[in-house]
Amino acid sequence: MSGIAERIQSVVASLPETARLVAVSKFNPAEAVLQAYNCGQRLFGESKVQELTGKYEVLPKDIEWHFIGHLQTNKVKYIAPFISLIQSVDSLKLLKEIDAQAKKVNRVIDCLLEIHVAQEATKYGFSIEELRELFRARAFDVFENVNVVGLMGMASNTDDEVRIREEFRLLSDFYQEMKNSLAPQFRELSMGMSHDYHIAVEEGSTLVRVGSFIFGERVYA
Ligand SMILES: *Cc1c(COP(=O)(O)O)cnc(C)c1O
């Protein structure tokens, strides 16, 4: 069994029934995705449009692709025909474009709203207050070709597990608040990466996005 297969199996075995693994294959070649596919993994995450469309073309069509990176509005059209979940919606403008492109290909695209709780100033996303206001104003109801099915978030990039847990709990509490009131359709809370997915799962994550632990450290060309 390859190292990739063993590591995927160890992550999957550690997840509760309520959480799924998104194998984050960015910066890794299609052959690495295929190795993971051959041991049963069907759900993959990518963060660059061109890289994703290249892999989509050459890999088996029963792969479920999630987009997890910053998405430029002018590139939505390239992934709209096949993407199964866009996890990283960070503006209303982007959601509007996804709706328009989904309509063109006669699809309804599932989306997560990216929410910003980490300390780093560079992270994209909405704040909790912003989203609460937008849901109160029913700002997402006008889009017929997108389904807002939950939230995606990242904790701060730190070794401080207490702080990571606090940030995940903040996300999880807000997710539950919305699910119990203005967004009963919520069914996905995407949190957790290689170094913190075990904490995210304890705090209620339904999708963990694990890359380097499975595929090895990425080499940025
Ligand atoms: C790259 C990436 C991941 C995976 O990170 P690892 O530390 O390699 O597991 C998860 N989520 C997002 C949004 C990413 O860009």
Taking residues 41-62, report their average pLDDT.
98
Verify whether ligand 1 is closer than 6 Å to residue 194 (CB atom).
yes
Question: What percentage of the chain reaches a pLDDT higher than 70?
Answer: 96
Mean pLDDT of the residues in the chain: 95
pLDDT level of residue 221 (50, 70, 90 thresholds): low
The pLDDT value given to residue 145: 98
The pLDDT value given to residue 117: 87
The pLDDT value given to residue 118: 81
**pLDDT greater than 60 at residue 1:** no
Tens-place pLDDT, residues 76-128: 999 999 999 999 999 999 999 999 999 999 999 999 999 998 877 766 899 99
The pLDDT value given to residue 119: 77
Decide if 107 contacts 85 (C-beta within 8 A). Answer: no
**Distance from Cα 23 to the centre of ligand 1, integer Å:** 9
Instruction: Mean pLDDT check: name the lowest of 21-35, 65-79, 107-121.
Output: 107-121
Taking residues 67-73, report their average pLDDT.
98
Taking residues 4-29, report their average pLDDT.
96
Residue 181: how many other CB atoms lie within 10 Å: 11
**pLDDT greater than 80 at residue 16:** yes
The pLDDT value given to residue 120: 76
Tens-place pLDDT, residues 149-193: 999 999 999 999 999 999 999 999 999 999 999 999 999 999 999
Exposed e or buried b per residue across 101-131, where buried means at least 16 C-beta atoms within 10 angstroms of its C-beta: bbbeeebebbbbbbbbbbeeeebebbebeeb
Verify whether ligand 1 is closer than 6 Å to residue 125 (CB atom).
no
Out of 4, 26, 47, 197, give the residue to mutate to test ligand 1, the one with the largest number of ligand atoms within 8 Å of its CB: 47
The pLDDT value given to residue 123: 64
**Distance from Cα 39 to the centre of ligand 1, integer Å:** 21
Q: Considering the entire predicted model, what is its pTM? A: 0.96
**Distance from Cα 136 to the centre of ligand 1, integer Å:** 31
**pLDDT greater than 80 at residue 23:** yes
**Distance from Cα 45 to the centre of ligand 1, integer Å:** 9
**pLDDT greater than 90 at residue 220:** no
Taking residues 38-66, report their average pLDDT.
98
